[in-house]
Chains A and B, each alone.
Chain A
Amino acid sequence: MRFNRKMIVGAALLLAACAPGTNDSGTNSSAQNHLTYLYFTDGPDEQVTRALIKDFEQETGATVELQIIPFSELSQQLQGRIASNNAPDVFRTDTLTGYRDALLDLKANGQDIGAQFMDEARDYISGPGGSLLAVPSDLTMNGPFVNLDMFAKAGVTPPSQPWTWDELIANARKVQQANGTAFALAYDKSGHRFSGMLNQFGTNLFGANGVELDAAKASAAIRQFAELHQQGLMSKDFWLESGTKYKGAIDIFLAGDAPVCVSGNWQVSQFTKVAKFRWAAMPNPCAERCGGYPGGKFMAATKQSANPQLAAKFVAFMNSRAAQEKYAKEAQFLPTRKDLIASGVQYPNRAEDMATFLADVKRTDKAGFASTYSPGFSPTATTVVKELAAVIAGQESPDQAVTNIRAAAEKNLR
């Protein structure tokens, strides 16, 4: 086959037609007085979200369509919908990274509510020129849970004040031996959760001025973590990403294979429903510092909304004092509003466990907030998991892992 000029021009036109890029500056097709709310659920929050939406509809006469998708599909769906001018009016997300240019300025649409929320998130939710791109809708706090039945059998009393890491390990081992469980500890396979340990060892991935990982402190944390696996106190199989029936550390805990599990407050509601034993939240252990590691979700509206003022109003309504209190109470979440943090939330169930997490919020070093809200955090957390697995498998040293994590953090922040 010979190439002639027509074919070359045709191929060039075809390639030009395929050049990537989208015109995502239009508006979606929401009808007047109607909103779409893209949402992923942690479980117990769905029902209360639906109830709050009803309240909003009654108050404003607007209609809100709740579109629930799995968390794993959020980024893909949202980016695709923004690219095709079909963005939801409002959405729930765990990060603003990658969406910032598509977010509606809530302040310019009549909702100057940024100051009502915790100061630690202020920079993260602010856009250029002091715009308000989102609000933190709930706060999470990492922390350990203990199996009270197993602790009782071993004659160990869970502490009301934080243990040191050494005390936690020694006591977990004692409970493991007394009960004959496979492991002493289970720890979520997550860079976010390990960031709690980093914070306790006195360092963080990011700070206000960029990457702030202290090599010696991070190396000590990783060494400690790997030793727990090498000593058989934690499940090596689980962290090596393969060949285990467990999907999360809580499954190990719920199956009665470990008396202690490090996860976070979002598990309280689920444990209440499914745990077949007595359990309780325990303060995070201390090393150089005490406290856990914060995280949370945000609520934002998109520029493509055909009803921007209504969308901003909906965000404000769902995060008003009354709504957030109801949301936190029913879903066992922690509040992000300053007034609710100050007054506290009276949880109808498991109030003591929630109080444990709230106490850890106060103990947590502020640097933890700067790290979790850094735009580089989410991608770097993935690297943390990979590097930890390599150390646990004996393929690299803790020092090498720190070097690699630091390099990834610097790259992700660029």
Chain B
Amino acid sequence: MKPWNQRLAPYLFIAPNMLIFGVFIIYPAINGFVVSGYDSNNGRTFRPVGVDNYGNLFGDAEFWTAARASVIFVLAFVVLCTAGAAGLALLLTQPIRARGFFRAVFFLPVLLSPVVVGLLWGWILERRAGALNSMLGADIPWLIDGRLALAVTVFVGVWTHVGFYTLIMMAGLQGIDGSYYEAARLDGASAWQRFRFVTLPLLRPTTLVVVILSLIAGFQAFDFIYTLTGGGPLGATTLMVQYVYEHAFRSPIRYGLAAAGSVVLFVTIFALTMLNFLYARRREAV
């Protein structure tokens, strides 16, 4: 048996991180769950209300509008990010000229502050004097029509994040042993067949990571949308996180309702992530 100090060492190494994780993640998460059983309009005086907040949440039309917008946003965001990242990764791993430059171009938005991204696209898409409408000589209500605004929000989200997922996909592609392609070529596989039967299956673990990360990022999307549309027009781009934020910090303040909303959001993300894992594990077993 190892001496006590050697047994203790690993725990001491992870202690600082666990402490920060506990104080800033675990405790607020548990606290949020507890607060969802109370009602408070000032954050100081709390009245226990049982599960009333959940009842009020599910009976609130604005919640369902935000939930619907979130589902549409997340579905489109995950599909476009994953497909876009895979496509870009395939292109950017080809021996093309100025490859480094193109990689930088697609990665650059990742480095921008989400607030800047929102403001930037807000100026570009503004109806009367925005750069895009001025260029097109059109009067397209990009951010005034609810459906268009949601579509624009998805586009801006994908534009901002796709560079990061492309990086992950590229790492996945470069991790595929070249001998598989060589063997496929020797067997007479076409370029499409090599992609379909070699690249795609071997890229599945990486794709799963991208799907899960983009799923979580999609549900957590807030900052760039808040500066781009403010959740408007008429709540068309108000997603769940903004719904929670507005009930927690905007008059009339409803901390309990906001906490219930964040618990529902947590359960949804957790359930979808688990489903992804289970699906992937099942595919591996097959």
Contacts and interface: CB of A to CB of B under 8 A. Distances in A.
B230 A241 contact: yes
Nearest to B143: A243
B42 to A, nearest CB: 5
Contact of A243 (B34, B142, B252): B142
B273 interface: no
Contacts of B251: 75, 378-379, 381-382
Contacts of A242: 143-144, 149, 229-230, 232-233, 236-237
Interface of A: 14-15, 18-22, 24, 75-76, 79-80, 82-83, 98-99, 101-102, 182, 236-237, 240-245, 378-379, 381-382, 386, 389-390, 393, 395, 412
A153 to B, nearest CB: 22
A379 B249 CA distance: 12
21 contacts: A18-B27, A18-B34, A20-B35, A21-B46, A75-B249, A75-B251, A79-B43, A79-B44, A102-B44, A237-B127, A237-B143, A241-B230, A241-B231, A241-B234, A243-B126, A243-B149, A245-B123, A245-B126, A389-B232, A389-B233, A393-B234
A243 B44 contact: no
B128 interface: yes
Contacts of A393: 233-234
Interface in B42-77: 42-46
Contacts of A18: 27, 30-31, 33-34
B249 A15 contact: no
Given A240-B144, A241-B230, A242-B237, 5 more contacts: A18-B27, A19-B34, A20-B34, A79-B44, A241-B229
Contacts of B253: 75, 98
8 closest residue pairs by CB, A with B: A243-B143, A241-B232, A379-B252, A242-B232, A240-B233, A20-B46, A242-B233, A242-B229
Interface in B1-49: 27, 30-31, 33-35, 38, 40-46
A240 B232 contact: yes
Contacts of A378: 251-252
A15 B229 contact: no
Contacts of B249: 75-76
Given A21-B46, A242-B149, A182 B35 contact: no
B283 interface: no
A159 B31 CA distance: 59
B232 to A, nearest CB: 3
A96 to B, nearest CB: 12
The B interface is mostly helix, strand or loop, or mixed, namely loop
Given A83-B43, A382-B251, A243 B125 contact: yes
A243 B123 contact: no
B109 interface: no
Interface string B231-243: 1111111000000
Interface in B170-229: 229
Nearest to B236: A242
A293 to B, nearest CB: 18
B116 interface: no
Contacts of A395: 234
Nearest to A82: B44
Task: Report which residue of B33, B35, B126 has the largest number of chain A beta carbons within 10 angstroms of its beta carbon.
Answer: B126
Nearest to A24: B44
A241 B127 contact: no
Interface string B243-273: 0000001111100000000000000000000
Nearest to B126: A245
Contact of B38 (A20, A79, A82, A382): A20
Given A20-B38, A20-B46, A245-B123, A240 B252 contact: no
A81 B41 CA distance: 15
Contact of B141 (A15, A20, A82, A243): A243
Task: Report which residue of A83, A240, A243, A393 has the largest number of chain B beta carbons within 10 angstroms of its beta carbon.
Answer: A243
